[in-house]
Structure 1
């Protein structure tokens, strides 16, 4: 997510960011990506932490809880769509093709498709977590012993080498979960363009996208009654304390989810409950009472708007699958 589109940097902030990065390198050698992003994000005029840092071990555990909450419809709704249409989706995949999943995580939704895709040459899950890939590979190998599974550890938003064994085979991409919604429009187009380059001419991409709906239902999905989403958001501060020796008081911050009508998105924030100062890696960050840290965008789409978005990246919308309530959508795209 490129938060600079919405949160501008002035010259003084640029200088502080450069000093922060130099400090991290001097003290710790090569800085961790989280350390650099945290100091940089808190140095901005409008403080922000990129949402990709939600998913340490504790954050991943909390997110798994979120997916089964009654208010959180996206996971179960998309799973229902994939289950209902798995046979149809398998018929779109040519024999001997390779299924490439971007940000595969636990690969649980993928199993619905793999169960119907008897003629796949290989399944290539891509994820930044080696542990997640190892767990998924072991489970899939046990269930589908004849399927070639070749995991790739890496950030799929950047160029990365794919296994030589898939050369010459048709490629089908899979990107569930509406992760595309976490990106600003220009970044979403850039990512979709990169995926088209990875998959190649004539490829198919199966992608999930959350749909616009009643605002009350959206807010509830990101601010559940049990407080699990709040704990998930606040875990960013606890992670900073655990990994970087910061001294955030999580009890002095609260979770806030808002809906931006103009941009059609949920925004998540951490809100300071009082004037306070936090120390992070030798830097002191002052917070006013009520000051926010932005932690996530989650864009919601209508069908026509999403089709226009993907077209900018060289994809054509071939078919759209939805649930009976039109809460969520799964799009089949073909590369121009």
Structure 2
């Protein structure tokens, strides 16, 4: 493929779709906001900061696995592939894969256009041989790849950071099936997943001592204030996490510290003191359950790499014919 430098594809949903989704959540008996709206430019930067916190074991464990097994992954995939990443490629993780795989092109996908372009531009500066097709999309929805990528070579998708844990089990299954439909027969999906573990480790990881995760949680309010003309005052909310053992997930909430009325998108939302807005789930997995789920979508598991503590796993899934 002739080098085309950086190309941008923008397929974000219209503001009207965002408005209806947000208002539906805020008018539910348990108020919710979609976790994807954490991620404007500031939210993406805050999350990058979270990944460097000492309490946040996920990123350093995943990086350790990639450092150890990137060459083995490259032997499985071969060179000249099309590497798709569900995320914007800001971290060392994608660089380890790029250097091992030497793909003919790289397709980062992210909902934050500013962060996507900035991170793609940095990669372009550092890897002069690389074609980048940056897609500004909501990857919780169907994605149509640019025509020039449809028959470009073996495809490998990469979804790091246990980000699939933000989906409910039903959403995760739907997502896996959509990824399978995006990849050709013989394509691969490298998936990073967080495994079940002791509650104290989870508490520290999602409620860090420096308050970065709290700022990240509240950023959804800032983002929606700007996007939908909201009037949330983030100082009137507190960050809270709940380790839900029954559902095998960590929940993030914003707790209203007072009785308040908030205007957003032409609507008024009433919150009682102590009432919560549920902003994110992070599901923790059993490997056998995840492999069964992937199998129902047409994947077979070919490799599993875990750390010595079995906190985290990289799973290689291959598209069956």
Q: Which TM-score applies when normalising by structure 1?
A: 0.85
Cα distance between partner residues in 2 of 1:86 and 1:56: 30
Deviation at 1:166, TM superposition (A): 5.1
Q: Does 1:122 align with 2:105?
A: yes
Aligned match of 1:145 in 103, 124, 128? Answer: 128
Partner of 2:9: none
Instruction: Give CA-to-partner distance per residue, 1:37-72, whole Å, 9 cap, x none.
Output: 332211111110000000112212221221111111
Aligned match of 2:222 in 238, 247, 268? Answer: 238
Partner of 2:118: 135
Moved more, 138-147 or 255-264: 138-147
Partner of 1:45: 29
> What RMSD over aligned residues (CA atoms) do the two structures have, in Å?
1.9
Instruction: Give CA-to-partner distance per residue, 1:144-167, whole Å, 9 cap, x none.
Output: 222332333323331313341551
Matches within 5 A, 1:1-336: 31-106=15-90, 108-118=92-102, 120-156=103-139, 157-165=141-149, 167-336=151-320
Partner of 1:17: none
Deviation at 1:235, TM superposition (A): 2.0
Contact 1:77–1:323 under 8 Å retained in 2: yes
Deviation at 1:102, TM superposition (A): 2.0
Partner of 1:10: none
Instruction: Give CA-to-partner distance per residue, 1:256-285, whole Å, 9 cap, x none.
Output: 100111110001101112222222233222
Q: Which has the larger radius of gyration?
A: 1
> Do the aligned partners of residues 178 and 323 (structure 1) sit closer, same or farther apart at CA in structure 2, a change above 3 Å counting?
same
> Do the aligned partners of residues 269 and 247 (structure 1) sit closer, same or farther apart at CA in structure 2, a change above 3 Å counting?
same
Cα distance between partner residues in 2 of 1:147 and 1:245: 39
SS of residue in 2 equivalent to 1:44 = coil
SS of residue in 2 equivalent to 1:213 = coil
SS of residue in 1 equivalent to 2:131 = coil
Deviation at 1:334, TM superposition (A): 0.8
Determine which structure has greater relative contact order: mean sequence separation of CA pairs < 8 Å that are 6+ residues apart, divided by chain length.
2
> Do the aligned partners of residues 93 and 54 (structure 1) sit closer, same or farther apart at CA in structure 2, a change above 3 Å counting?
same
Structure 2: gaps of 5 or more residues: 1-13
Deviation at 1:202, TM superposition (A): 1.7
Deviation at 1:208, TM superposition (A): 0.4
Contact 1:105–1:132 under 8 Å retained in 2: no
Q: Which TM-score applies when normalising by structure 2?
A: 0.89
Deviation at 1:333, TM superposition (A): 0.6
SS of residue in 2 equivalent to 1:221 = helix
Cα distance between partner residues in 2 of 1:229 and 1:201: 39
> Do the aligned partners of residues 62 and 141 (structure 1) sit closer, same or farther apart at CA in structure 2, a change above 3 Å counting?
closer
Contact 1:258–1:266 under 8 Å retained in 2: yes
Cα distance between partner residues in 2 of 1:294 and 1:78: 27
